[in-house]
Amino acid sequence: MDTSNEHEKTNQVLPKQNVYGPIETQSGPGLTRFCILCGIIAAIAPFQFGYKMAELNNPKESIINCSTASSTSDFNWSFPKCLPMSEDYFALATSIFALGGLLGSFFAGYLSDRFGRKKILLFNSLIFFVGATIQAFSLKSSVLIFGRFVSGISSGTAIVVTPIYLTEIAPIQSRGTLNLFNQMSIVIGVLMAQIIGYAFGTGNRWRMVFIISMLLSLVNFATSFFLVESPKHLYQKGKSDEAESILKRLRGTNDVKQELESWKINSENNIISPDSEERLGMDNGAHTASPDTVNYTPEKNINLFSIFGIPKYRQPLFLVFCLQLGQQFSGVNSVIFYSTSILSDIYSKETSSKLTLILGSVSVFSTIFAVIIVDKVERKKLLLSSIIGMFLSMLIFVIALFKEINVLVVVGLFMVLASFAPGYGTLPFLISTELFDTKAVGAGNSVSIATNWIGTFIIGVTFFAIQKAIGYYVFVVYMGFMAIFAAIYMIYLPETKNKSFQVVSKEFVF
């Protein structure tokens, strides 16, 4: 979820001038080895999120069905071979993860502001460990579900705090690059879970999927001690000397005065008057804004609750709700969560598991492609192109299912994931940061992420029930949602690429 670097863009009205003064410059040192190392370590947390999201996919039948064949490779331990449960109960085990994620995401921002990014990432690795341990040694299906909920809390925390940390340790010109660690680690985590699930998906070996997750969390915990605290967070807490020392390590130079000065200007001059904002937004470069020439006035912070009472944020809130809910109601998580179940209806368990691994690889390469094009194409055009591609791909998939053209079923699934990643997979998070001004972007993104988790839960818990009722027409329902939300985006979503909030808001209609 790469949203943090776009947060900084909301501070700017014009490319070469800022309504708050010269907050940060584009020049300066690039990424150092130490900064990259900190980014890699921090990205272990979203890697675990991706792993936890897909861990139940391949070993599903071995977990819920005790009649699956045993083998000489089974482990000699005293735990139950399986945890019998219905398809609906397994859907709850899958989707309860999203409720935990929702809870974690609500409190992660506040906790990281109070205790620091590093401390929360360190503590969160222990929550990952607790969740994985409960799952690995569960004796009942209800205990497994509770472990999934705990893992969801840690995952929700990870995808909120990690992008913030990556943004705050990176040089401004390298924020996008460092934030790619977050996106890539998630999809690689999904692929790793599918590979390990395939390797340990028979007999009583499925517990190894969770034991490996325990080991990952311990690696996360041990390596987190090598992280430095976010220097920007320390500076905001008044620990300027410590912030300067860490910033010198991250930049590989003692010359960090300009960057520190930019933080000082940013912290001292938070808000400008509406008249000044409008004047600077219309300025074509005749003068440069500075702290001496801009009229700053104090303003109350906007929180998760107060934002709903401010008229100018009505359309942005409506749009982030539609972007995130539309993404989930496209049915893509049905492919991620239940691809093995879908494919096992037409192929053997062995073949369907292998195809699931290939699907994971498609997600990884599609995300790499997204990285290349996401900043080269207009947001709205890329989003709508992605939805059209998904719609046509799912149409091919559904026709192939009913005509029993098995090869085309697989091709259709691959095309759904390939068309999802470059647009619908990344843009809802990115656009959400560009629909709010600086003082509201935090609260707006909380609404955005919460909506995404709620949508994930709804799809996860209803897929099997709807499929049982109407069969594979469930994907036709998802296609209908794609068409509805695409129409909403066409009518109400303004183009946001390289535009300030002042310019974007002029296109709002309510």
Model confidence pLDDT, tens digit, residues 175-214: 667 777 887 888 899 889 988 988 887 778 899 999 999 9
pLDDT in tens, the chain (510 residues): 444 444 444 444 444 343 333 334 444 567 899 999 999 999 999 999 999 988 987 788 888 888 765 566 677 777 888 899 888 888 888 888 988 998 988 887 778 878 888 999 999 999 999 999 999 999 999 999 999 999 999 999 898 788 878 878 888 767 667 777 887 888 899 889 988 988 887 778 899 999 999 999 999 999 999 999 999 888 878 888 899 999 999 988 898 888 888 777 655 544 433 333 333 333 433 333 333 433 333 345 577 778 899 999 999 999 999 999 999 999 887 776 666 667 777 777 778 777 878 887 887 888 788 777 776 788 899 999 999 999 999 999 889 888 888 888 888 888 998 898 878 987 887 788 788 875 676 677 778 888 888 888 888 778 878 888 888 888 999 999 999 999 999 999 999 887 777 888 889 998
Q: Please check whether residue 1 is in contact with residue 428, taking contact to mean a CB–CB distance below 8 angstroms.
A: no
pLDDT of residue 340: 66
Q: Please check whether residue 240 is in contact with residue 246, taking contact to mean a CB–CB distance below 8 angstroms.
A: no
pTM, to two decimals:
0.73
φ and ψ of 255, to 5 deg: -90, 80
d(CA 354, CA 195): 9
Task: Give the amino acid at 278.
Answer: E
Task: Give the amino acid at 25.
Answer: T
d(CA 490, CA 469): 32
- Give the torsion sign (CA, 202, 204, 210, 215): negative
Crossing angle, helix 141-169 and helix 117-136, to 10 degrees?
A: 160
Strand residues in 326-416 grouped as ranges (E): none
pLDDT of residue 164: 79
The tens digit of pLDDT for each residue in 430-485 reads: 788 788 875 676 677 778 888 888 888 888 778 878 888 888 888 999 999 999 99
Token reading at 257:
């005065």
φ and ψ of 482, to 5 deg: -60, -45
d(CA 420, CA 395): 14
d(CA 314, CA 14): 25
φ and ψ of 13, to 5 deg: -100, -45
Q: Could you tell me how far CA 351 lies from the centroid of its own chain? A: 30
Q: Which of 414, 415, 416, 397 is nearest to 405 (CA)?
A: 397
**DSSP at 376:** T
d(CA 464, CA 476): 15
**Facing residues of 322 across strands?**
none
d(CA 373, CA 425): 13
d(CA 322, CA 485): 7
Contacts for 410 with CB less than 8 Å, ≥ 6 apart: 343, 355
**DSSP at 309:** G
Q: Please check whether residue 479 is in contact with residue 391, taking contact to mean a CB–CB distance below 8 angstroms.
A: yes
pLDDT of residue 28: 55
**DSSP at 17:** E
Helix ranges (H only) for 116-206 are 117-136, 141-169, 175-199
pLDDT of residue 304: 75
**Facing residues of 12 across strands?**
18
Q: Please check whether residue 54 is in contact with residue 187, taking contact to mean a CB–CB distance below 8 angstroms.
A: no
Contacts for 84 with CB less than 8 Å, ≥ 6 apart: 64, 65, 66, 141
d(CA 74, CA 237): 54
Token reading at 2:
């790469």
Coil, helix or strand at residue 14:
strand
Task: Give the amino acid at 245.
Answer: S
Q: Is 412 exposed, middle or buried (0-12, 13-18, 19+ CB in 10 A)?
A: buried
Q: Which domains does the chain have, with CATH numbers?
A: 31-68+79-223 (1.20.1250.20), 302-510 (1.20.1250.20)
Q: To which residue do tokens 């699930």 refer?
A: 197
Task: Give the amino acid at 477.
Answer: V
pLDDT of residue 182: 80
